[in-house]
Amino acid sequence: MVSEFIIAGFPGLQDRESKAILFAVFLTVYLLILLGNLLLICILAADRSLHTPMYLTVCSLAIIDITICTTLVPTMLAVLSSTTYTVSFSACFTQTYFFMALPSIESFILLLMAYDRYVAICHPLHYPARMTVRFTLQLIVVCWLGGFLCPTLVFSLAFTKQFCGPNRVPLCYCDYAGVLRLACGDVLSISHFSLFSVLSILLIPLFFIVLSYVKILLSVLRISSSAGTAKAVSTCSSHLLVLSVFYFTSAGVYISYRIPGTSVDMRVMGSVIQHVFPALMNPIIYCLRTKEIRDSLVKTLKNSKIFPGSK
């Protein structure tokens, strides 16, 4: 019986120089992700004017991004800095569970953000009563609980299988599909069910997100003033960019898996980019595209006297 797994990393990049370059790149990216998302959280926490439903969801998204990357990148760095990296059976499945739960939470939070914008633009008079801070916090808790509950059945199906043969995971971390292939016996039905579950968790929220924005678009087209239209578009632009980064990155990785001749190293890199790239881009998008966050950041920098002549 298997008691530990070997994390393969990048099979074609096992020389010391390549591993050192990858280590430096991913360590830099990880530090930038921590810096950007922690800065965003601090801005939202420090400025009381940003304690609104929309920015609560942004803050929750930043926490998810930090958690996803902290679950992934340290393992990657350990793999790149060692000749053979092994992880215990329980630790591998724990990481697998988090990689199933956290993207589910992110998908639900993105749906919540779309609903917030839908109510704000399509029902502006009802927005203060319907989207209170307390209600938004309750919805965020539901998103987190739902994200952790959704993969439990799929996870338990793999966890209860016997692993008696190969123990080499062909990625930089313990991925569900990579670990499931190492199980003894026929796992085809479990694999199909897990794929159906993952696609449902991603595509059902996407359907309602698209539906929300179709209604938002129809509502915007009915706005007579150009100023009102511009304001409505500006409140949604950041969220649309974040949505595009999350779903297009995931779609690109899944498509690359279906392209014949794609190297194992490219697939490993794609799986890493799928988790890392949105977390790197989200704070940049919100800090650059959202006026309230940008103004709060500039005010904070001026008050800390980083900008000369702030007075």
How high is the pLDDT of residue 311?
43
Which has more confidence, 182 or 210? 210
- In this prediction, residue 35 has a pLDDT band, given cuts at 50, 70 and 90, of very high
pLDDT at 227: 61
Does residue 213 or residue 308 have the better pLDDT?
213
For helices 133-149 and 89-122, the axis angle rounded to 10 degrees is 140
pLDDT in tens, 85-125: 888 888 888 999 998 899 899 999 999 999 998 998 888 88
**Predicted pLDDT of residue 115:** 93
Query: Which residue's structure tokens are 């307390």?
Result: 134
**Dihedral-angle region of residue 184 (phi above 0 means left; psi in -120 to 50 means alpha; beta otherwise):** beta
Dump pLDDT digits (tens) for 136-191: 999 999 999 999 999 898 888 888 888 877 788 877 888 888 888 888 877 788 88
Which pTM was predicted? Answer: 0.87
SS3 86: strand
Mean residue pLDDT of the chain comes to 84
- pLDDT tens-digit profile of 243-302? 888 888 777 777 766 676 667 777 778 888 888 888 888 888 887 777 788 788 777 777
Task: Report whether pLDDT(205) > 50.
Answer: yes
Three-state SS string across 199-232, please? Answer: HHHHHHHHHHHHHHHHHHHHHHHCCCCHHHHHHH
Q: How far apart are CA 228 and CA 67, in angstroms?
A: 37
Question: Does residue 215 register a pLDDT over 60?
Answer: yes
Q: What is the mean pLDDT of residues 39-46?
A: 89
C-beta separation of 114 from 213 below 8 A? yes
Of the pLDDT bands very low, low, confident and very high (cuts 50, 70, 90), residue 198 is: confident
pLDDT band at residue 8 using 50, 70 and 90 as cut-offs: confident
* Tens of pLDDT, residues 218-238: 888 776 666 656 666 666 777
